[in-house]
Structure 1
């Protein structure tokens, strides 16, 4: 539905470098990446704000690479709302329809329908300065959505909001997407957005797409060391892999891991903290990687605790606070870590 091929562009320190990306019709697609990866430039180039140096953008099979932004059928919403302060919410939402010379009665009808969809139908007579951040963001989304775009681009729409408002608007975005079927491309750095909203995810690195897949594929099976580290795979180590009969032993110096991989030689390995089983006694299971050590750190983080066990290498695990208390874990105490061979992800160096 939206097909991007070989898109390249440089703007100062930000750039796109041969971006390839396909977004399916009706999909909620999220783009993740560090600051400077080129996420906003990619969205603005799709919208037509910038012309690429090379590459193509196609929408519904039509090349729109050089098409005027107003003729692309694409809407864009920024994190800072960009509402007109002197216009009412109703006038802000209907502004694009007015520019299209839509009949006034039809404008009122569409504005009312879209405002109700976003839960701001009762605010149409207000001005942006009298609204909360969440209400302003709803108005900005309504202004883009009322034009019935083929693609809606969202540039970190929840970042400026407090946690409670962000969670509420996240649920509303999901409901709006379900109700309208609009194709959405959404930039974020909040992992919660990905699991709550995304059908698929792309991770950007230095102006390129590092990996694309479902949220589970990207977080559980990262394709590169960068993706593993960026998505929170804290246990990242370097070693040497030796493969025999499809099984590998990975020498990390202090310890040796076992896994299944075809990657040999110098490697990087990653294990997600939630894949770690921590126990006070040796844990009996089918997991082939089991090590004893001592707890060096316990850090409380809301309902979860980050536990570090030094077992030759510092393994990070995530446990509930109740589990930490039940196990009697404490800094300086002996502990065991256990994890399956399938939890070890291997990347060539």
Structure 2
């Protein structure tokens, strides 16, 4: 198990303070945060490429903070692949096994990883001329070849096109399920983190602000700063006025949970139902609103509505958009259940 205790490191304007986390055997841990907050520095501290100013790096309760990188049994995959251009794909994959395994073992391991990552047909080629997705799969195979105790992934998809990124997510999901290797993956993409991570950490301003399961992180962010980074729409300041009741910009909302003290509520856009008339249902919250605008949201549409002093977004299908004949300035009703409001 990897454990970081109170890691501090100052590099230029980046001042990492008191970073602590743990990654259990076989766990896929995703560290999520914008550029410049120290995610890559933390990866390199764990790998032994940078020494922390203070704090400890432990593996199975053994202090490895000052241990040489090559003695840690960790491998790193960077976004720029770092393949050796004069070697074939097969030679790149097996590079870390030289002098550590027999020729037959090297051949077997290379073939196993090539089949898993669908690169068997390019084993004899050199990196020049390979697509970004192919080069990233080769880099991943090379990192996995020596059976690392910990796989460190530094924004591995950032140089890939959308199609290649989606494919690489599936490959990593497959690898995490078939191998027992612990993974630390850093990214700025919340969707990527949700898809891959067993556990997520949010790093902002060179500090870890929250560690939680994907479901818990998006359901209960620790504060508005984390929620805003996660791109959560319909994040609203609120205060409790009675049991299961809060006020938001002059609007009274019923909550599905009992919270004595809150600062914000989040209403999932997917759970706001739009209708031309009010209707009877089990939903406890219904507001008159006007359509302000709309925009694509993946395969759906995000409709921006104004309810008094509130601005909300409702995610609807194209079919619903057509059925409602939505247009700017249209009067509608927004309805949502008390369970659609999440407070923190």
TM-score by length of 1: 0.91
Any conservation in 1 of the 2:31–2:39 contact (CA below 8 Å)?
A: yes
2:341 matched residue in structure 1: 344
The equivalent position to 1:250 in structure 2, one of 244, 247, 252, is: 247
Deviations 1:97-154 (A, max 9, x none): 22x4543343233222222222212222111112111110011001110011011011
Residue correspondence of structure 1 range 80-119 to structure 2 within 5 A: 80-98=80-98, 100-119=99-118
Of 261, 264, 270, the match for 1:263:
261
Cα distance in structure 2, aligned partners of 1:5 and 1:283: 55
Aligned to 1:121: 120
Counterpart-to-counterpart distance in 1, 2:336 and 2:54: 46
Shift of 1:8: 1.1
1:236 to 1:127, Cα distance in 2 relative to 1, 3 A: same
**Which moves more between the two structures, 220-229 or 73-82?**
220-229
Aligned residue pairs, count: 341
What pairs up with 1:1-349 in 2 under 5 angstroms? 1-98=1-98, 100-239=99-238, 241-244=239-242, 246-253=243-250, 255-259=251-255, 260-263=258-261, 267-312=263-308, 313-347=310-344
* Aligned partner of residue 261 in structure 1, secondary structure: coil
Q: TM-score, normalised by structure 2?
A: 0.93
RMSD: 1.9
2:236·2:266 contact (CA, 8 Å) conserved in 1? yes
SS in 2 for 1:164: helix
Alpha carbons 2:35, 2:188 under 8 Å: kept = no
Residues 27, 283 of structure 1: alpha-carbon distance in 2 compared, 3 angstrom cutoff:
farther
Structure 2, gaps ≥5 residues long: none
Provide closer, same or farther for how the CA distance between residues 283 and 186 of structure 1 changes in structure 2, counting only shifts above 3 A: farther
Distance of 1:284 and 1:8 partners within structure 2: 56
Unaligned runs of 5+ residues in structure 1 are: none
Residues 1:48 and 1:163: Cα distance change in structure 2 (over 3 Å)? same
CA distance in 1, matches of 2:131, 2:248: 55
Give how far 1:270 is off: 2.7
